[in-house]
Structure 1
């Protein structure tokens, strides 16, 4: 999959999450996806290579970085809890979508019960 269309796909996937909001707190060049005001994904909109940064369990983050050259410690983010994934097609799309789910779930789990009840019908 070409990186532009893969970027569009991951943006659509992030927006499809329950309660997801697209925001631009860092300017027009980076789409930030939040749930209940907390970031779960960042997608730079500039020139290639396209990428996405996702929150990740620290042990899984290290494992993924060892398995894929396209996955590195989060760019300008907490290196322990974030990965940046270059959208070059080397990470299988199914796994990429699972990592978006994982990032979203990590954020939702940390919300208060009241926030979760409001978010999830």
Structure 2
């Protein structure tokens, strides 16, 4: 897995779009319109930040399964966000599934009128 492939996967989601609010090398991927858009993936050269679960306890399952390749994200980790490393013990298909789950969790929190057409709930 690399950042370009992950970005392509993320942007294929209904209503997904790239934003660079902090002038980093790689964008965050949001869903929802404009200022109402919510981040579901933080892209980086070495991995992806995702909503790992609805609670910190659920997100901690990633830490247990992949110590060293799954870590709690700084600042927002208490809300269930994890960093997942590329090229380590986490299989590519599980990285893609983690992004899919992050997308689902974030879209479900959007008001129904702001959810993108074509997403599956």
TM-score (norm. length: structure 2): 0.83
Partner secondary structure for residue 79 of structure 1? helix
2:18 aligned with 1:22: yes
2:52 aligned with 1:53: no
1:53, 1:75 within 8 Å by CA — same for their partners in 2? Answer: no
Distance 2:79 2:39 in 1: 15
1:1-121 alignment runs, 5 A limit: 6-36=2-32, 37-45=37-45, 50-57=46-53, 58=55, 59-69=57-67, 70-116=69-115, 119-121=116-118
RMSD over aligned CA atoms reads 1.5
Over 3 Å off, 4+ runs: none
Distance 1:91 1:102 in 2: 15
Distance 2:75 2:43 in 1: 13
Give the CA deviation at 1:60. Answer: 2.5
Per-residue displacement from partner, 1:40-59 (whole Å, max 9, x unpaired)?
A: 001124xxxx1110012123
TM-score (norm. length: structure 1): 0.83
Q: Unaligned 5+ residue runs, structure 1?
A: none
Q: Unaligned 5+ residue runs, structure 2?
A: none
